[in-house]
Amino acid sequence: MKIDGYTRVCGVMGNPVEHTMSPAIHNTLAEALGENLAYVPFRVPTGAAGEAVRGAYALNLLGMNVTVPYKSEVIPFLKETDPLAETIGAVNTLVRTEGGFKGYNTDMPGLYRAMCEDGVKIEGEDVLILGAGGVARAVAILAVDKGVRQVHILNRTAEKALKIADEVNDLAGRALAKGCGLEDCASLPGESYLAIQATNVGMFPKTEEAVIEDAAFYRKIRIGYDLVFNPARTRFMALVEENGGRAFGGLKMLLYQGIIAYELWTGARVDSGLAERAYGAMKEAMHIS
């Protein structure tokens, strides 16, 4: 990589950021596309999110990614927020505009593009969401946006699932979502779900765990997406496959949220060949073969 007086800088702000795979994605894309762009991690201390956003703008940064714990905290410091990011209430990409950064959420478009690449259609499906945290809520919003037939949200703390179901029903203007506890997995009405696993269960180092073990539940899953990306193959995915379904992990969502951010910053279009190259670099950085 050649750094000179014209080099544009992008980066990721978070705390911690040392584990980030984003530099592998963005620096590979920049190099392949011949862009004079460097991408670096920025660890931002607690309470300094606003200063970091203002400082990044003052330093002429082209764009930023925002990760845990600042995805909501940065919003008041932006000039503008994209409507999807505003509905989700979380921003993971800042794009330089006249007078300030504009905030976007590329996590959900990233999941959607990963699904399209995998040949999985969400439109018109019966969708099951496991979990009711920040990401599960965003997936429920994506599901409504893409016109699914119905959504069941199952969570350890049932009240949180019920709350998200109420929110998305308000958004949709009709009762398409239902919330319940994990124990209700035995009485789901459908037989062929697109299931999205959005809890922390099964993440490294507790890789032997799955949020639900019941084989009868997995027999109702035609396609299972685990948003966990470390490990690349989770117990949830194994259970889906053992019971006749197709399973996908969270690595491609991670890749495409980065690719969409890169496209927003530079105006480039990343084709599937280049996406594959960035995917390889990302997996290499994660020591996944």
Burial of 65 (0-12, 13-18, 19+ CB in 10 A): buried
Residues 6+ apart with CB under 8 A from 226: 197, 202, 234, 236, 237, 247, 248, 249, 250
Task: Tell me how crowded residue 92 is: count the other CB atoms within 10 A of its CB.
Answer: 27
For ligand NAP, the binding residues in 134-153 under the rule CB under 6 A are 134-136
**Least distance from ligand NAP to the Cβ atom of residue 160, Å:** 5
Structure tokens at 199: 């809890």
Mind spelling out the 3-state secondary structure of 234-273?
CHHHHHHHHCCCEEECCHHHHHHHHHHHHHHHHCCCCCHH
- H/E run at residue 196: strand 193-197
Number of residues that bind ligand NAP (CB under 6 A): 24
By C-beta, is 36 or 200 nearer to ligand NAP? 200
By C-beta, is 198 or 270 nearer to ligand NAP? 198
Which residues are part of the catalytic machinery? 71
Q: Which stretch binds ligand NAP (CB under 6 A): 31-39, 164-172, 247-255, 270-278?
A: 247-255
By C-beta, is 27 or 257 nearer to ligand NAP? 257
- 268-to-65, 214, 253 alpha-carbon distances in Å: 17, 45, 19
Phi-psi region of 124 (alpha: psi -120 to 50; beta: other; left: phi over 0): left
131 touches ligand NAP (CB under 6 A) = yes
Q: Which stretch binds ligand NAP (CB under 6 A): 156-164, 167-175, 232-240, 259-267?
A: 156-164
Q: What are the counts of helices (DSSP H) followed by strands (DSSP E) for the chain?
A: 10, 12
**Least distance from ligand NAP to the Cβ atom of residue 236, Å:** 10
Give the CA diameter of the chain. 63
DSSP 197: E
By C-beta, is 36 or 157 nearer to ligand NAP? 157
Q: Which stretch binds ligand NAP (CB under 6 A): 17-25, 141-149, 168-176, 222-230?
A: 222-230
Choice from 200, 213, 216, 284 touching ligand NAP (CB under 6 A): 200
**Least distance from ligand NAP to the Cβ atom of residue 92, Å:** 8
Phi-psi region of 241 (alpha: psi -120 to 50; beta: other; left: phi over 0): alpha
By C-beta, is 52 or 212 nearer to ligand NAP? 212
Residue 65 pairs in a beta bridge with 12, 93
Give the nearest residue (CB) to ligand NAP: 133
**Least distance from ligand NAP to the Cβ atom of residue 5, Å:** 34
For ligand NAP, the binding residues in 76-95 under the rule CB under 6 A are none
Q: Which stretch binds ligand NAP (CB under 6 A): 19-27, 30-38, 53-61, 130-138?
A: 130-138
Q: Are 8 and 62 in contact (CB under 8 A)?
A: yes
**Least distance from ligand NAP to the Cβ atom of residue 139, Å:** 9
By C-beta, is 96 or 198 nearer to ligand NAP? 198
Choice from 201, 247, 259, 281 touching ligand NAP (CB under 6 A): 201
Chain residues in the site for ligand NAP (CB under 6 A)? 107, 131-136, 155-157, 160, 198-201, 203, 211, 227-229, 250, 253-254, 257
